[in-house]
Homo-oligomer: A and B are copies of this chain.
Amino acid sequence: MPDEVFKPIVAVVGVGAVGGYYGAKLIRAGYDVHLLLRGDYEAVRANGLQVRSALEGDLLLSPERLQIHRDPRQVPKPDLVLVALKATGNAAFTSLIGPLLRDDTAILTLQNGLGNEDQLAALFGAHRVLGAMAFVCVQRPSPGIIQHIDHGFLKVGEYAAAGHQPPGKTRRVEQIAGMFRSAGVRCDVLDDLRRGRWEKLVWNVPFSGLGTVLDLTTDRLLATNVGVSLVTALMNEVIAIAAADGVELPADVIERNIRHTVTMGAYQSSMQVDRRQGRALEVDAILGEPLCRAKALGVATPSLEMLHRMALLIDPAASSADPP
């Protein structure tokens, strides 16, 4: 990546709700952004990209303002790849991301859950990889149309493979954070990405996992004592895995997460939305990988284990992949 003024070429892989939202912000700010599309290509070519937001105002990008591609080999080699595929689409990493890379291209995944950075590192080299947690409520009701509901800030950090010290706040990660900030996105830099991932899982495991399995919005999960006790049991298991993985989470993490979630009202996680629309669920990234770490580290997680099996059971993708 160039060292002077940071005006990178950016490729966005996966222009759904999250990729479309951040991609549009960067384009508006004048960055050289290339969008790699598959199913939505024709719709975006015809109608452009719209981010509708009552909170931030609408952002309408006509087709002439977009650089869109169907074939990764036709994208100019970028300095930075933003990965915003659903984690259920990670099997396409090789074919979609491989052709984009120069020696010094960095890859930042904005995906949910655990294991995405590891997969990218295994395929393309750990030195390229960064991760971000996107704290944003967005949906994609139809191709090229993104509905922004709330929030939008990022926490970004350098990847470290298991057993390696986190590299901390590198020049590269600071540059990327600066790019997002200059596009109007609040962006914090993490010393330790892994800690950030575990912190976010404390929220995702109960509110995405349990909420999807029971098809209950966040307010319903927290409306009764029995709900709070289930949510808390799952959070405690995530905290225990994180601790075994070397990440001590702050003592008030459960209380803070519950308090914050109450303010969100009747919120549907993206996983719950996926279930209601019959799409594949991010079971692996949200539940499977944490469970896998728990087993490797010898941590007992009975609630997470049952939740994981239940999530597989309702996942249309898993159901077809696993005949009796």
Which residues of A are at the interface with B, using a C-beta cutoff of 8 A? Answer: 210, 213-216, 220-230, 302-303, 306, 309-310, 312-314, 318-319, 322-324
Contacts and interface: CB of A to CB of B under 8 A. Distances in A.
Given A213-B214, A215-B215, A303-B306, A226 B312 contact: yes
A230 B313 contact: yes
Contacts of A216: 313-314
B222 A313 contact: no
A209 to B, nearest CB: 12
A229 B216 CA distance: 24
A298 to B, nearest CB: 18
A318 B224 contact: yes
Given A223-B319, A225-B324, A324-B225, A214 B309 contact: no
A283 to B, nearest CB: 10
Contact of A312 (B224, B302, B310): B224
A147 to B, nearest CB: 26
Return the 7 tightest CB-CB contacts between A and B, nearest first: A224-B322, A226-B312, A227-B313, A302-B302, A226-B309, A306-B306, A230-B309
A321 to B, nearest CB: 9
Contacts of A222: 324
A314 B214 CA distance: 7
A215 B229 CA distance: 22
Nearest to A226: B312
Given A228-B324, A302-B302, A324-B228, A310 B223 contact: no
12 contacts: A214-B310, A216-B313, A223-B324, A224-B312, A224-B318, A224-B319, A224-B323, A226-B312, A227-B313, A302-B302, A302-B306, A303-B306
A176 B77 CA distance: 83
A288 to B, nearest CB: 11
Contacts of A210: 310
